Chain A
Amino acid sequence: MMTRKTFCFYFVDRGAILLAMFALVLGSAFYCAAADTVQVQLDTREAKPRAVETLTERAIFRDYRFAWRNIAQALESNSLDALEGSFAGDASQWLRQTIVSQQHSGLSQRYTQQNHKLKAVFYAPEGDVMELHDTAEYQLEFMDGGKIIGDQHIVQHFVVLMTPGADHWVIRQLQAVRQF
C-alpha cells in the first residue's frame, strides 16, 4: 500500500529520471540543430566579365545556403516538396531522380555540419547566368531504413551554375568534379 512518505520517494525517483531524459532530449536537439546548419562563405571578387553587384551577392549567398538546406532535408526525408523553388533544369531533375529512387529502395542520406567555400568565377555580361566553384565539407551518412550503413567526412568540389528566377536565384547545374 503506498503511504504518503513512500509516495514522495516514489515521486522523487520518477522526477529524477524524467529530468535526465529531458536533458538528453534537449541536448540532442541542440546537437542536431547545430549539426544541420549550413555555413557558406562567398567570394565574388574574381567573377568576370561582369562584376557582381552587392544585392546580387547577398541574394546568391541567401539562395545557395537555402538550396543546400533543402537538399539535406529532401535527401533525409525523401520528400520532393523540400526541393520546391530552389532548383531548375538538370540539377532539379537528378535530385528528383535521387529522391524517387531512394523512396523505392528505402534508402536515405543525411548531410550534416555543412561548410561551403563558394567562389564566383563567371558572371555573364547580361547577368543571366553565374558559374561558381564550391568546395564543400560535410558529414555524410548513408542509411538503409533506420540503419546507418556508412558514415563519412566528405570534402567535395562542385561546379555550380545559377540563373535568376522570379524573385530569387536557382541552382540549374550542380556537378561534382575531381578538382577545379
Chain B
Amino acid sequence: MKIILPIILVVGTGGLMVLALLSGGNARGTVGVAGGSAVFTPSATNPQLALHNLLIDVQRRHWDHAYDALSKTSKADKEDFIQDCTGSNGSLRSFSSLEGFDPRPLHITDDQADMRVALHWSTPVGPIEDVRDIHLVREGDVWRAVWPEYKVPMVPAEVIPVTYLRWDLVTGTADDQWGSKNVDAPRVRIISMNAVNTAEGTIVMGEVVNEDTIPAFVNVNATLVDGAGSIIDEETSFDKIDHILLPKQVSPYRIDFPNVDLNKVKNVRMDVKAALVPASADPVIGVMDQKIDTDAQGKSVLQGDLLNESGQTVNISHVIASFYDNSGKVVWVSDGYVDRALLPQSSEPFAVEIPKSVSQKVQNFHVVVNQFSLARS
C-alpha cells in the first residue's frame, strides 16, 4: 500500500490533467485583462493551428509572441499589426476585446492557405463580428500568417475654422421661486410610426423631428396595449435613435419588443420625451456613395462612406438607417457601429444589414450618423 497508493494518486492526477487538456478546457473565465501564457502551446504544423495560436496571442495581447509568429512576408510592421488589432485614435476597436473566433478554410495547398475567420469582438456597445480573410504560407515545417497591410488615412495638417453654433444650457439655481424658471422643453413630434411583426417579436419604428429652434434631447417610448386595455410591454428606443436633434433635424427610431406577437396588440401608445440639452452643430458628417448591395457573406446591406467634414476626430460613429417602401412608409430601421475612428476631413466605410424579407420592398432610405467624441463626452 505504501507504494501502490502514491502511484495511483500521481498517475490518476496526471491522467485527469491530460484528459482536461484534450477536452479543450477554457483558458480563462473573465475577459479584458492581459492573461498569462499557456504552459503548453502546440506548434503550428497546419494552417488551422497557426491561425489558432496567433489569435490566442491576440486575445491575450501577447504582441511580441504574435508578431514573431507572422510570416516575414507580412506587409504590416509590428506597430501597424498591433494598431490593426487594438485600434487607434480612441476608436471602437480600441475599447474592444477579442472574445472568440471561428476560422474556416477557404483554400489550402501544400504550402499556401487562405482562411476566413469571423472575429467576435466584445465592445462597449455590444458584440461586433468582423470577418477577415487571412493568407498563410508554410515556411519550413511551420505555417505562418501573412498579415495584410494596415492603411492609416493620412490627414494633411490644416487649420479648420469652426464657426458653427454651440448651445449651452443654464439650468438656474435649485431654489428658484415657483414659476420663474419656465424654459419650456423643446417641441418635438413623431412624424411616422409603423409596427412590424418579426420572428424575434414586435418592432415599432418611424421618424421623429425637432420642430423647435434649439437642440432637443429625445427619447421615444412605446407601450403595447392588448384588447382588455392592459399593458403588454413598455420599451424605449434605447440606442436605436439619434438622441440629440438639432433644429429641424429628423431621426429614425426603432423600439424592439422581444417575444411579443403583434396580433395580440390592440393599441400602441407612443410617448416622445424631449429635454433641453447643451449641443454643438459641429462635427458635420456627410454620408457619401450610399447604395444597397450584397456583402461577401451574401447578406443584403446598405453601404457607403462617412465623410468627416469637421476638424475634430470622431472616435465612434453610429449609423442609423431608415428604409421606405414606394409609398414613403418606414418599413425597416437598422443600425451599426463603425470600428475605426473618423479622422478630420477623411472617410471610413460603413455597412448596415437589411433583412432579406424587407430588402425587396425598399425603394428609398435615409441615413443619420450619431457620434461619440472623447474630447466632448
Contact = CB atoms under 8 A, between A and B. Distances in A.
The answer to A–B direct touch (Cβ < 8 A) is yes
A72 B178 CA distance: 26
Interface in B155-196: 178, 182, 184
B77 to A, nearest CB: 57
Contacts of A126: 184
A127 B178 CA distance: 15
**How big is chain A's contact interface, by range?**
under 10
Contacts of A163: 178
B273 to A, nearest CB: 12
A125 B100 CA distance: 59
A53 to B, nearest CB: 14
Nearest to A126: B184
Contacts of B184: 126
Contacts of B182: 128
B80 to A, nearest CB: 52
Interface of B is mostly: loop
A126 B184 CA distance: 10
A136 B6 CA distance: 90
Interface in A154-180: 163, 172
B16 to A, nearest CB: 59
A89 interface: yes
Nearest to B184: A126
Contacts of A89: 178
A88 B184 CA distance: 20
Nearest to A161: B178
Contacts of A128: 182
Nearest to A90: B178
Contacts of B178: 88-89, 163, 172
A165 B178 CA distance: 12
A43 to B, nearest CB: 24
A167 to B, nearest CB: 12
Nearest to B178: A89
Contacts of A88: 178
B255 to A, nearest CB: 20
A88 B178 CA distance: 10
A10 to B, nearest CB: 57
B26 to A, nearest CB: 46
A172 B177 CA distance: 12
A172 B182 CA distance: 17
Interface in A85-110: 88-89
A93 to B, nearest CB: 12
Interface in A115-159: 126, 128
Contacts of A172: 178
Nearest to A129: B179
A57 B185 CA distance: 23
A172 B184 CA distance: 20
A161 to B, nearest CB: 9
Interface in B314-365: none
A137 to B, nearest CB: 30
A115 B184 CA distance: 37
A88 B182 CA distance: 17
Nearest to A88: B178
A88 B176 CA distance: 13
Interface string A60-93: 0000000000000000000000000000110000
A146 to B, nearest CB: 39
A26 to B, nearest CB: 35
A126 B178 CA distance: 15
A89 B184 CA distance: 20
A172 B178 CA distance: 10
B39 to A, nearest CB: 58
A126 B183 CA distance: 13
B183 to A, nearest CB: 13
A89 B177 CA distance: 9
A168 B258 CA distance: 29
Closest 6 CB pairs of A and B: A89-B178, A172-B178, A163-B178, A128-B182, A88-B178, A126-B184
6 contacts: A88-B178, A89-B178, A126-B184, A128-B182, A163-B178, A172-B178
